[in-house]
A and B are shown apart, each in its own frame.
Chain A
Amino acid sequence: MSATIARRAPLVGVAALAVALGIGGGTALALWDDDEVLTASIGSGMVGLAVEKLGTHEAQVADGPGARPGVTLGPAEAERLLADGEVAVGIRVDARADGNKGLRYGLELPVLDGASLLGNSTVRVFRVAPDTACTPETEPLPGTPVATWTPADADGDGTYVPGTDPGWDGTGLGSVPVAAHYDAPWTAVERWCVVAELGDMPDEGSYTNTATVAVEVDGATYTGRDSWYTDVTTAADPAGEPAHTIRFSHTTFRPGE
């Protein structure tokens, strides 16, 4: 029995090896191969500009390069201006430019309506430190420009006497809050103040009336005269104040631009 097995087994063993070596017809051995996998990815950064009238918690956010978010002054500011003779409004600017990009922005100041309360005020627009409160007494950040709107009659003496044409001077306001350098901060918060002081409205002034009476009695003339005076204050209604919007335009730039 064991002798029979010993004679048969080598035949089977040779066939297995033959199969393993791919010798002869039939089964073929697969060719060798090897591989490795390499992966890599990188993320993209963002830019942004948002402006907000302090106290509103409503930011206007730029959604593209041509967007000009703005802050609007209107009836609320006019009411304070008429009641107090002055008003101050703060504007917050948030800027962002990641990586090798920088961002600069500029202010576009509106032409103020000559019949409006703000249009007949001396209005100053200037930058302050980010944590500075905007009051009528606030001073600009040292070394930064101020834009001033001078009305037709700024002296506020109660009598409207037009002087020069109203208009802005020093309108080139702006800032470069984010530099185009990978190591520089990618975000910045800045603040602007708008301070207005009411001048004379076109319908303000004084009224004087003098009455004279002459009576002739028995050939003699008797004359009496009396006069009365009143100030005429403006009939301007703050609720009718038009919207005056200061807009912020911006551009992004690469190093060296």
Chain B
Amino acid sequence: MTATSRIAVAGAALVVAIGAGAATYSLWAGDSAGSAGVITAGDLDIALRPDGFAWEETSPDVGAPRSGTAPESFAAFVAMSGDSFTVSQEFTTTLEGDNLLGRLTVGWAAPPDLPAGVSATYRVLGAGNQVQAAARLGEPVEVRDLPVGTGTWTVEVDLDLAEDRPDRYTTFSGADPVELSDLGDIVVSVEQVRTGTGFE
């Protein structure tokens, strides 16, 4: 084989090797398994606790307040002006790895939809049920500098139907409109950051 043809064959082989992408990588990994060392992957996770939802009536004039542990039971309660509630959801964050710092944010994928006379605030509770952040429902908050490890958190919403909010009147027709107080799609996120404590 001439030198020219030898180079041409080698060039073709190289193009094939680059174009193969993953195939090339797997070949290399097989050849270099002992020589490149071991890289340990980290972990970053947030998860709602399956048994972590709770709600309760906080109306001051109700002698036997109701409560529940499922969104369905909360949705089934019929609220009137003067009623108030606390709704909470526990979740955990997991951060594993070197040089890993996290930031917890609470935001909305769909905003709350509260009728006139209905108001809500919320707070984020961390270790020891300490308030880490608080705001009006719909306003995002963040908690910075989450260290490596597992954390347990709670988003707690206070919902209030003002006592002087006008009653809704039925027409006795069976076709009255429905009114909902919707907390929105609350998104709790944990993300890796590379600024802050421990980073330049």
Q: Which residues of A contact B (CB under 8 A)?
A: 1, 4-5, 8-10, 12-14, 16-17, 20-21, 31-48, 50, 59, 61-65, 94, 96, 98-101, 182, 252, 254-257
**In the complex, what's the smallest C-beta–C-beta distance from A23 to chain B, in angstroms?**
11
Q: What residues of chain A lie closer than 8 Å to B13, measured between beta carbons? A: 1, 4-5, 8
Interface of chain A: mostly helix, strand, loop or mixed = mixed
- Most B CB within 10 A of own CB, among A4, A21, A252: A4
Instruction: Decide: B163 and A254 in contact? CB cutoff 8 A.
Output: yes
- Residue in B closest to A5 when the chains form the complex, CB atoms: B13
Q: What residues of chain A lie closer than 8 Å to B27, measured between beta carbons? A: 9, 13
Q: What residues of chain B lie closer than 8 Å to A17, measured between beta carbons? A: 25, 28, 36
One of A4, A44, A50, A255 near B6 (C-beta < 8 A): A4
One of A1, A10, A35, A257 near B9 (C-beta < 8 A): A1
Instruction: Decide: A4 and B9 in contact? CB cutoff 8 A.
Output: yes
Q: What residues of chain B lie closer than 8 Å to A256, measured between beta carbons? A: 61
Instruction: Decide: B17 and A5 in contact? CB cutoff 8 A.
Output: yes
Q: What residues of chain A lie closer than 8 Å to B66, measured between beta carbons? A: 182
Instruction: Decide: A37 and B191 in contact? CB cutoff 8 A.
Output: no
One of A4, A35, A39, A98 near B190 (C-beta < 8 A): A35
User: With A8-B13, A12-B28, A61-B172 in contact, is A43–B189 under 8 Å at CB?
Assistant: no
Instruction: Decide: B193 and A38 in contact? CB cutoff 8 A.
Output: no
Instruction: Decide: B190 and A255 in contact? CB cutoff 8 A.
Output: no
Instruction: Decide: A43 and B179 in contact? CB cutoff 8 A.
Output: yes
B129 within 8 A of A: no
Instruction: Decide: B36 and A47 in contact? CB cutoff 8 A.
Output: no
Instruction: Decide: B190 and A34 in contact? CB cutoff 8 A.
Output: yes
**In the complex, what's the smallest C-beta–C-beta distance from A28 to chain B, in angstroms?**
11
Task: Tell me the bound Cα distance from A4 to B85 in angstroms.
Answer: 74
User: With A35-B189, A36-B47, A101-B80 in contact, is A47–B167 under 8 Å at CB?
Assistant: yes
Instruction: Decide: B172 and A43 in contact? CB cutoff 8 A.
Output: no
One of A32, A33, A47, A100 near B169 (C-beta < 8 A): A47
Instruction: Decide: A46 and B168 in contact? CB cutoff 8 A.
Output: yes
One of A5, A8, A45 near B168 (C-beta < 8 A): A45
Interface of chain B: mostly helix, strand, loop or mixed = mixed
- Residue in A closest to B7 when the chains form the complex, CB atoms: A4
B150 within 8 A of A: no
Task: Tell me the bound Cα distance from A41 to B10 in angstroms.
Answer: 66
Q: Which residues of B contact A (CB under 8 A)?
A: 6, 9-10, 13-14, 17-18, 21, 24-25, 27-29, 31-32, 36, 39, 42, 44-48, 53, 55, 59, 61-64, 66, 71, 74-75, 77-83, 85, 87, 89, 91, 109, 115, 155, 157, 159, 161, 163, 166-172, 176, 178-194
**In the complex, what's the smallest C-beta–C-beta distance from A48 to chain B, in angstroms?**
4
- Residue in B closest to A255 when the chains form the complex, CB atoms: B61
Task: Tell me the bound Cα distance from A255 to B81 in angstroms.
Answer: 12
Instruction: Decide: A46 and B46 in contact? CB cutoff 8 A.
Output: no
4 tightest A-B CB contacts, nearest first: A13-B28, A33-B191, A48-B170, A35-B189
Q: What residues of chain B lie closer than 8 Å to A37, measured between beta carbons? A: 109, 185-188
Sample of 20 further A-B pairs with CB below 8 A, known A43-B75, A255-B61: A4-B13, A10-B28, A10-B32, A13-B29, A16-B25, A39-B182, A40-B157, A42-B74, A42-B77, A42-B85, A44-B181, A45-B79, A45-B80, A98-B80, A100-B83, A101-B80, A182-B66, A252-B167, A254-B163, A256-B61
Instruction: Decide: B172 and A48 in contact? CB cutoff 8 A.
Output: yes
Instruction: Decide: B172 and A59 in contact? CB cutoff 8 A.
Output: yes
User: With A41-B183, A44-B181, A61-B172 in contact, is A32–B191 under 8 Å at CB?
Assistant: yes
- Residue in B closest to A16 when the chains form the complex, CB atoms: B25
Instruction: Decide: A44 and B28 in contact? CB cutoff 8 A.
Output: no
Q: What residues of chain A lie closer than 8 Å to B183, measured between beta carbons? A: 38-41
Instruction: Decide: B17 and A100 in contact? CB cutoff 8 A.
Output: no
**In the complex, what's the smallest C-beta–C-beta distance from B51 to chain A, in angstroms?**
14
One of B80, B168, B179, B186 near A39 (C-beta < 8 A): B186
